[in-house]
Amino acid sequence: MKLKTRGAVEMIAAMLISGTVGWPVIASEQPAVTVVFWRCVFGALALFIICAMLGLLKRGVLTRQQIVIAIIGGITLVLNWVLLFGAYSYASISVATVTYHTQPFMLVGLGVLFFGEKLTANVLCWLLVAFGGMLFIIIGQQGVITLGSDYLIGIAMALGAALMYAVTAAIIKQLKGQPPHLIVLIQLVVGAILLSPFVVWSDLPLPGSTWGLLLIIGVIHTGLMSSLLYGAIQKIPTSLVGALSFIYPVVAIIVDWLVFGHRLSAVQMVGAGTILLAAAGMNFGWKLMGNRSRETQKYS
């Protein structure tokens, strides 16, 4: 199998796995903090084995400064997961996942605020398109929505998760070229330590089926998915990484429909498509305005 083909297969597999994470999260019937804690524990064990096999568990691979950066990124990564998993219960997997994919725009905003990057007219237009899609998702919810409704809380949490992801991506950019498996291992260890005081230990022992779901989230949706994703990124062009990333929200919408019976309304489908279109436009530098400079904002 050619290297590029193998990378594409790995990327597709990683996105298929990512798109199904909401299923075991909801089925576990555990608080988001508990799910993320065990995700960190089991994921760290899986990545420890992977790092050992890759020969990354030795001194000098990362400097102290790089370790500190990885730790800070671990804090924001864990907050991202807690908010996203919490959003599943308040809104739905579909709505939370699509809303979560406003993250490229969050990253652009951080670049403008903290890294002196310019906000071009074309990027601003795609941002407005995504905002329009968000409004369609909100007004497309069946039933009456009040400012205190669970649905709006779920959307707010998904937006918060997207912001935390963008912050994590901005932080991890400082570690470009370093072993990604080792960085994620550090982040998962940080997450387990950070969340351990918030786990309701009196709920233990959990049913065997719940342990199975948590193990799947940690090993499959974290350890295996990360390995496939990083392996793919090393083998295929960034443009293809961006294109195949849209498998994730599509799979999430299908899973939410087939497993939990949550169907997006017609208006919400328009909103979801609009957000994903805007994110794609950001990824590939599609032009809405006739500016001369080429924009190639991509996921980190």
| Statement: residue 294 has pLDDT above 60 | no
Number of Cβ within 10 Å of residue 197's Cβ equals: 9
CA–CA distance, 159 with 105 (Å, rounded to integer): 11
Q: In this prediction, what percent of the chain has a pLDDT beyond 90?
A: 48
Two tokens, residue 48: 């420890």
The answer to whether 253 and 272 are in contact (CB under 8 A) is yes
Two tokens, residue 160: 């918060």
| Statement: residue 296 has pLDDT above 70 | no
Q: Which long-range contacts (CB under 8 A, 24 or more apart) does 293-296 make?
A: 293/120, 295/120, 295/122, 295/123
Residues in the chain: 300
The DSSP call for residue 174 is G
What is the arithmetic mean of pLDDT over 27-56? 94
Query: pLDDT of 214-256, one tens digit each?
Result: 999 999 999 999 889 888 887 888 767 777 888 899 999 999 9
Among 249, 253, 203, 190, CA closest to 36:
190
Two tokens, residue 242: 């961006």
Reported as a pLDDT band with limits 50, 70 and 90, residue 262 is confident
The DSSP call for residue 140 is T
pTM of the model: 0.85
Query: pLDDT of 121-149, one tens digit each?
Result: 888 888 889 889 888 888 877 655 554 57
Reported as a pLDDT band with limits 50, 70 and 90, residue 289 is low
CA–CA distance, 277 with 90 (Å, rounded to integer): 25
CA–CA distance, 268 with 251 (Å, rounded to integer): 16
> What pLDDT score does 111 carry?
80
| Statement: residue 210 has pLDDT above 60 | yes
Cα 22 to Cα 94, 110, 155, 159, 243: the distances in Å are 9, 27, 15, 17, 22
Query: pLDDT of 57-86, one tens digit each?
Result: 988 889 999 999 999 999 999 999 999 999
| Statement: residue 22 has pLDDT above 50 | yes
Average pLDDT of the residues of the chain: 86
